Amino acid sequence: MNEQTRPDVEYLTSERTKGLPFSEAVRVGPVLYLSGMLGLDNSMKLVTGGIVPETRQTMENIKATLEWYGSSLDNIVKVTVMLSDMSEWAEMNKIYVTFFGTHYPARSALGASGLAFGARVEIECIAIVDDVNNHL
C-alpha cells in the first residue's frame, strides 16, 4: 500500500489512560478500535459488587469513550467479551443487552484466567465513527 492509498491511522489516548502502555482507541479511517475496557470508576478503582455492577460500569465507560471519539453504542459492529468466570456469562449478558436497541453487534465471549485489576469482565469493541474530525 503506498502513502496515497493508506488510510489515516490515529492513536488516541485520553487523560484517563495517559502514561499506560496502550492506546485507548485507534482510528483507521472511519473505524474506531477500542482497547479492552474494565468496570473502573473515575478514580480508576474497580467498582464493587461483582459482575453486574462491573458490566454496567464497563458499558458506561465504552459509551463515554465512543462518544468522546465521535461514535456511539449504535455504531458498534463487533464486541469481544472476556470473563474471568464463564459461569457469570448469563448475569453479564442481562446487563449487556440493555445498552443496545434493536440490533446487536457481532460478538465473541471467552473465559480468561485473569484480568487486569482483578476484574470479572473486560470488553473491547470496534465501531464506525460518525464524525472523523470530532476530538481528533
String of DSSP letters for 56-102 = HHHHHHHHHHHHHTT--GGGEEEEEEEES-GGGHHHHHHHHGGG-SS
Q: Domain 9-16+23-128 sits in which CATH superfamily?
A: RutC-like (3.30.1330.40)
Q: Residue ranges per domain, the chain?
A: 9-16+23-128
- Looking at residue 11, what is its pLDDT? 85
pTM, rounded to two decimals: 0.88
Contacts of residue 1, defined as CB under 8 A and 6 or more positions apart, other chains included, come to none
- What does the pLDDT look like over 61-93, one tens digit per residue? 999 999 999 999 999 999 999 999 999 999 999
Quick one: average pLDDT of 99-121?
95
- What does the pLDDT look like over 22-62, one tens digit per residue? 788 999 999 999 999 999 999 889 999 999 999 999 999 99
Task: Using the structure block, give the residue that is written with the C-alpha cell 475496557.
Answer: 37
